[in-house]
A and B are shown apart, each in its own frame.
Chain A
């Protein structure tokens, strides 16, 4: 399910949010990525005797499918494997002071806390990941989650809006939202979009007027306007964004 989250009420600021402005736009893919990262968060996972994560850990599986590079330190050599190019191997030993690098990873990742570059394997044969992230294999990642973690993809298609957000904003279900469209919906309106120094004239270029939401009854909409009450409209029949979103002039 895709979602659009809108502002309730106007802010007094001239270039601030106005009623109906689309604050956030979540595609189903973005939602599934976020849930997968949260479920497989390496900083919450159990560590082995080295203070690292095991090579067959869930986080390792995720990074193996999504990260550009895998690094392996073997017998005084550091090899970089490009996972986007069939594990093309390069020796990068001369570019890393490996002892200092590993020492800092131990100092940060192995101590309590939820930070530090995740390290896998052992201190003698460490493995880590880097470079860009690609979620083309999102389905494979979710297969792993369903098989090994026991959480269902079907249960994770809603963005995890917080209690505050359900009170303050209006979240609408929709379908057919592309990444490009979602990005466009969240763009401000600029005085001159081609200028080097961008001046915002309106916080959002796109909004959803109340009149474009005939499926939501008047009493329900009244409760949406009460920002002290949580209202979740995402159980409604999804809208087609092109039917309800208006681009400001």
Chain B
């Protein structure tokens, strides 16, 4: 078994589009018994809707090369901006382990779609699916969700962690719901350390609901350390940052919302509710969103330490290893280095993190 790494981009790479790389997974880009890794480069914007369903390699990872990744804000690294979205921007339905990571994903407006998402996995027959470290934003009517896990069956389920998702909207008069992250499957799904902001139904005539994070209530599901805020509807539907129904089977807690819905199973607890969005993030200005935490954010040092399970959950949206650095975990996708916690906190965890952090972090991010 070998790792087959191929570059994807428009400046003398192995493949010029993700779709063409995926079409070669059966041979040159992967092959039986191998692990396939496609590394996107920030040469030009990928305008496509790749479907990943090849079953030849043992595993398939769609990633972005180091030094070419987004910095948590739009337009800062390798990205897919789909100008036409028939179903999803990225649709994964392989029976092999599939990982989508470090990509910025956005799309032009489309028709009022029922299914899919900016990144959607159908776990009808599959192995483990993982969406991590992605920046999914500005997806209007073309997709139902920013990130979607759907389907009735899966061997090992799916994980969605350390993603930033914002401005996922329906703008048309629709009775269909809209989600930032949606896990609608009976199989195990872990939703950890995501930051979701600004899921909306913007049409005053619409009756559909808007939900920041929705995790259907099943045993084996886990919904912790997530931020969902700023969910709105202009019409008659309901706006909830999290599914307002208290789960009885899903593990849920250590979540934060701007309304009263931060998901809590009644045992895990430690939820933060009714917090003000503008107090949490560096920028919520439309077109220049930066959902990194700012000083005094309520999310600082208030998450539970998940260790290193599932694999990679300890890495934040900036690539910082919370586990190796000994950080006290923050809620959401960003681990604030040198962050000042809310009034009343002692900030011990953050100070430890600050000392352990890189010189660049200290110089550029703490002094200003």
Contact of A115 among B28, B76, B282 (CB under 8 A): B76
**Interface presence of A147 (CB below 8 A):** no
Is there contact, CB below 8 Å, between A162 and B294? no
Partner-contacting stretch, out of B38-46, B188-196, B237-245, B299-307: B38-46
| Residues on the A chain within 8 Å of B91, using CB | 198
How many Å lie between the Cα of A12 and that of B27 in the bound state? 12
How many Å lie between the Cα of A101 and that of B67 in the bound state? 20
A interface residue count range (under 10 / 10 to 19 / 20 to 34 / 35 or more)? 35 or more
| Residues on the A chain within 8 Å of B289, using CB | 130
Is there contact, CB below 8 Å, between B288 and A80? yes
Q: Are A180 and B84 CB-contacts (below 8 A) given A34-B44, A197-B150?
A: yes
Is there contact, CB below 8 Å, between B294 and A117? no
**Interface presence of A47 (CB below 8 A):** no
Question: Nearest Cβ distance between residue B55 and chain A, in whole angstroms?
Answer: 6
B interface footprint on A51-90 (CB within 8 Å = 1, 0 otherwise): 0000000000000000011010000001010000000000
Is there contact, CB below 8 Å, between B28 and A33? no
How many Å lie between the Cα of A128 and that of B56 in the bound state? 43
| Residues on the B chain within 8 Å of A71, using CB | 285, 287-288
| Residues on the B chain within 8 Å of A168, using CB | 23-24, 27-28
Is there contact, CB below 8 Å, between B122 and A198? yes
**Interface presence of A165 (CB below 8 A):** yes
A interface footprint on B53-88 (CB within 8 Å = 1, 0 otherwise): 111100000000001111111111110010110110
- Secondary structure of the A contact surface, majority rule: mixed
**Interface presence of A183 (CB below 8 A):** yes
Partner-contacting stretch, out of A16-24, A214-222, A233-241: A16-24
| Residues on the A chain within 8 Å of B41, using CB | 114
**Interface presence of A242 (CB below 8 A):** no
- Secondary structure of the B contact surface, majority rule: loop
Pick the most buried of B76, B114, B360: most chain A CB atoms within 10 A of its CB. Answer: B76
Residue of B whose beta carbon sits closest to that of A159: B16
Is there contact, CB below 8 Å, between B115 and A195? yes
Pick the most buried of B15, B44, B93, B287: most chain A CB atoms within 10 A of its CB. Answer: B287
Partner-contacting stretch, out of B6-14, B199-207, B257-265: B6-14
Residue of A whose beta carbon sits closest to that of B43: A38
Q: Are A186 and B360 CB-contacts (below 8 A) given A100-B368, A114-B67, A128-B288?
A: no
Residue of B whose beta carbon sits closest to that of A129: B75
**Interface presence of B324 (CB below 8 A):** no
Q: Are A96 and B283 CB-contacts (below 8 A) given A24-B17, A117-B73?
A: yes
Pick the most buried of A11, A114, A199, A200: most chain B CB atoms within 10 A of its CB. Answer: A114
How many Å lie between the Cα of A130 and that of B67 in the bound state? 21
How many Å lie between the Cα of A7 and that of B68 in the bound state? 30
How many Å lie between the Cα of A169 and that of B22 in the bound state? 12
Is there contact, CB below 8 Å, between A179 and B11? no
Contact of B54 among A13, A94, A187 (CB under 8 A): A13
**Interface presence of B116 (CB below 8 A):** yes
Question: Nearest Cβ distance between residue B344 and chain A, in whole angstroms?
Answer: 21
Is there contact, CB below 8 Å, between B71 and A164? no
**Interface presence of B251 (CB below 8 A):** no
Is there contact, CB below 8 Å, between A113 and B68? yes
Q: Are A183 and B84 CB-contacts (below 8 A) given A97-B282, A107-B360, A198-B91?
A: yes
| Residues on the B chain within 8 Å of A196, using CB | 114-115, 150
Q: Are A13 and B55 CB-contacts (below 8 A) given A180-B84, A186-B19?
A: yes
How many Å lie between the Cα of A179 and that of B10 in the bound state? 20
Is there contact, CB below 8 Å, between A130 and B288? yes
B interface footprint on A112-128 (CB within 8 Å = 1, 0 otherwise): 11111110000000001
Question: Nearest Cβ distance between residue A190 and chain B, in whole angstroms?
Answer: 8
Q: Are A100 and B282 CB-contacts (below 8 A) given A38-B11, A117-B73?
A: yes
**Interface presence of A244 (CB below 8 A):** no
**Interface presence of A133 (CB below 8 A):** yes
Is there contact, CB below 8 Å, between B42 and A115? yes
Is there contact, CB below 8 Å, between A107 and B365? yes
B interface footprint on A166-194 (CB within 8 Å = 1, 0 otherwise): 00110000000001101110111010001
Is there contact, CB below 8 Å, between A199 and B84? no
Contact of B288 among A17, A96, A180 (CB under 8 A): A96
Would you list 24 pairs from A and B whose C-beta atoms are within 8 A, ordered by A residue? A11-B26, A33-B45, A41-B43, A71-B285, A95-B278, A95-B284, A107-B360, A107-B364, A107-B365, A113-B67, A114-B67, A131-B287, A161-B16, A162-B12, A164-B14, A164-B24, A164-B29, A168-B27, A183-B86, A186-B48, A196-B150, A198-B87, A198-B115, A199-B124
Beyond A92-B285, A200-B51, 8 extra complex contacts between A and B, CB < 8 Å: A96-B283, A115-B69, A162-B12, A188-B87, A197-B124, A197-B152, A198-B87, A199-B124
Interface of A toward B, CB cutoff 8 Å: 5, 7, 11-13, 15-17, 23-24, 30, 33-35, 37-38, 41, 43, 68-69, 71, 78, 80, 92, 94-97, 99-104, 106-109, 111-118, 128-133, 159-162, 164-165, 168-169, 179-180, 182-184, 186-188, 190, 194-200, 203, 227
